[in-house]
């Protein structure tokens, strides 16, 4: 960029002389014929690299003009070189420096000296200009950093507030769930006594007055007995579900085959009645589990397979497992513990895959009460048991082909880390 130099002298020949000497430097010159003229120019132009000004001028001297120039903040950065024909004493030289001069050049002007001094100040101006630009950039960067830090702090505070709100909501939800579970437990427990009386007296009616009552009355009593039986099963499942919520996290390294055998013993009459075949492909491994929960998990899954079997095909339930290093069945270096995937596969009536998530919902039944007995809690209970073990359960099914339930459980339960402070 072409540097601007302001030339101030009341004689036109002196202005032309300085311009001719400095012209090879490629500078842009602005000329003023008096101090007042120079001040007028400086009202609108501030980007001068240097001012060359004669000391002795009419009306306003160079010293007076320099003092007025430096009263303005925007002009204080412009260096002034005084040009004079006098050899000043120290007092006058000091007066010049005090008014803002950075140097003197004496007449007659030495062209080489003028060019050298102007070159030095122009070079200083350019360097100073670059520093100012860099300073502005740094200020802009610092401002952006300050804004980013302020935004980040605001975001972090917002996240902390949301976390506090989330924790409060979780606490309220857990409290509400505990209250709901306690209510379900108490309500179910209190319902058992009147239900036992309904079953007892309906059984007495059916036994003692069967021959006395007509066919319609016996039908009504039978319906009462059937409804009471279903309600008793429902209460039993609700109690089991409520107790599960309050279970303490006590895990034991347990052989799953023992728990599976116990579940099969409980299902022995149903297996025999259905002429079912239970195939255990290979013995199950030992895992860190809650034995009291894994037993009903096996019971519910196998009984579900037997219950929803085809009328004309003997039920067949296949149980197998595999060990993986990741929850998704693939090797994952980030997973430190192994997982066990247990498959419970049947050849029953199955269902459309679009209902695969709904079957685990509470009281959700894909078939009517008349077609298959049940309360709609069994699979919801299975899901809750698996989640209590930090695992998950999925269902894959096809109508009229069968269903496969996949349970993924960690071999070792994750260690709880207590954060203090």
Specify whether the CB–CB gap between 313 and 347 falls below 8 A. yes
Q: Is the pTM of this model over 0.95?
A: no
Parallel, antiparallel, or unpaired for β 48-54 and 80-84? parallel
Q: What is the 3-state secondary structure (H, E, C) of 215-277?
A: HHHHHHHHHHHHHHHHHHHHHHHHHHHHHHHCCCCCCEEEEHHHHHHHHHHHCHHHHHHHCCE
In angstroms, the CA 403 to CA 308 distance is 10
Torsion 121-124-125-126 (CA) sign:
positive
Specify whether the CB–CB gap between 40 and 83 falls below 8 A. no
Torsion 237-241-246-249 (CA) sign:
positive
In angstroms, the CA 147 to CA 164 distance is 25
pLDDT digits (tens, 9 = 90+) for 292-349: 889 889 998 999 899 888 888 899 999 999 998 765 544 444 444 589 999 999 999 8
Q: 3-class SS at 203?
A: helix
Distances (CA, A) of 125 to 104, 105, 120, 229: 18, 19, 9, 101
Regions in the chain scoring below 50 on pLDDT: 329-336, 369, 417-421
Tell me which residue has tokens 């769930």: 177
Q: 3-class SS at 91?
A: helix
Q: 3-class SS at 288?
A: strand
Q: 3-class SS at 138?
A: helix
Task: Give the model's pLDDT for residue 136.
Answer: 87
Specify whether the CB–CB gap between 79 and 51 falls below 8 A. yes
Phi-psi region of 84 (alpha: psi -120 to 50; beta: other; left: phi over 0): beta
Q: Which domains does the chain have, with CATH numbers?
A: 4-109 (3.40.50.2300), 141-246 (1.10.287), 249-421 (3.30.565.10)
Task: Give the model's pLDDT for residue 94.
Answer: 67
Helices 12-22/111-208 angle, 10° precision: 70
DSSP assignment letter at 109:
P
In angstroms, the CA 351 to CA 403 distance is 8
What pairs with residue 198 in β-bridges? none
Task: Give the model's pLDDT for residue 259.
Answer: 92
Kindly write down the DSSP assignment for every residue of 365-404, as one continuous string: -SS-TTTS---S-HHHHHHHHHHHTT-EEEEEEETTTEEE
Task: Give the model's pLDDT for residue 77.
Answer: 83
Task: Give the model's pLDDT for residue 372.
Answer: 53
Task: Give the model's pLDDT for residue 409.
Answer: 94
Task: Give the model's pLDDT for residue 196.
Answer: 76
The Cβ of residue 97 has, within 10 Å, a number of other Cβ atoms equal to 15
Closest CA to 310 of 347, 354, 358, 273: 347
In angstroms, the CA 270 to CA 289 distance is 27
Torsion 52-53-55-57 (CA) sign:
positive
């Amino acid at each position: 960029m072409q540097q601007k130099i302001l030339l101030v002298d009341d004689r036109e020949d002196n202005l032309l002389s300085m311009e001719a000497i400095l012209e090879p430097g490629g500078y842009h010159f602005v000329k003023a014929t008096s101090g007042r003229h120079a001040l007028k120019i400086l009202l609108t132009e501030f980007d001068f690299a240097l001012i060359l000004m004669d000391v002795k001028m009419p009306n306003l001297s160079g010293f007076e003009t320099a003092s007025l120039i430096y009263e303005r903040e925007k002009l204080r950065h412009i260096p002034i070189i005084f040009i004079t024909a006098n050899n000043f004493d120290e007092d006058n030289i000091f007066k010049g420096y005090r008014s803002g001069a950075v140097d003197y050049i004496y007449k007659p002007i030495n062209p080489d000296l003028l060019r050298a001094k102007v070159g030095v100040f122009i070079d200083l101006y350019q360097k100073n200009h670059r520093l100012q630009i860099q300073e502005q950039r740094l200020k802009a960067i610092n401002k952006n950093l300050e804004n980013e830090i302020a935004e980040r702090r605001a975001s972090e505070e917002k996240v902390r507030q949301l976390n506090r709100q989330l924790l409060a909501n979780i606490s309220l939800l857990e409290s509400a769930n505990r209250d709901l579970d306690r209510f379900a437990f108490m309500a179910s427990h209190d319902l058992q006594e009147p239900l036992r009386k309904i079953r007892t007296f309906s059984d007495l009616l059916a036994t003692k007055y069967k021959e006395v009552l007509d066919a319609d009355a016996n039908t009504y009593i039978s319906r009462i007995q059937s409804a009471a039986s279903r309600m008793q099963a429902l209460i039993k499942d609700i109690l089991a579900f409520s107790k599960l919520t309050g279970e303490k996290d006590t895990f034991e390294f347990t052989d799953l085959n023992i728990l599976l055998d116990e579940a099969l013993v409980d299902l022995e009459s149903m297996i025999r009645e259905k002429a079912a075949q239970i195939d255990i492909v290979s013995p199950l491994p030992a895992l860190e589990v809650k034995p009291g929960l894994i037993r009903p998990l096996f019971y519910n899954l196998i009984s579900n397979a037997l219950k929803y079997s085809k009328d004309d095909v003997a039920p067949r339930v296949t149980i197998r497992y595999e060990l993986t290093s990741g929850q998704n069945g693939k090797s994952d270096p980030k997973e430190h513990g192994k997982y066990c995937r247990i498959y419970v596969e049947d050849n029953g009536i199955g269902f459309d895959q679009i209902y695969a998530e709904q079957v685990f919902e509470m009281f959700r039944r894909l078939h009517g009460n008349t077609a298959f007995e049940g309360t709609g809690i069994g699979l919801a209970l299975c899901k809750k048991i698996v989640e209590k073990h930090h695992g998950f359960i999925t269902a894959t099914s096809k109508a009229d082909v069968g269903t496969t339930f996949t349970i993924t459980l960690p071999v070792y339960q994750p260690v709880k880390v207590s954060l203090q402070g």
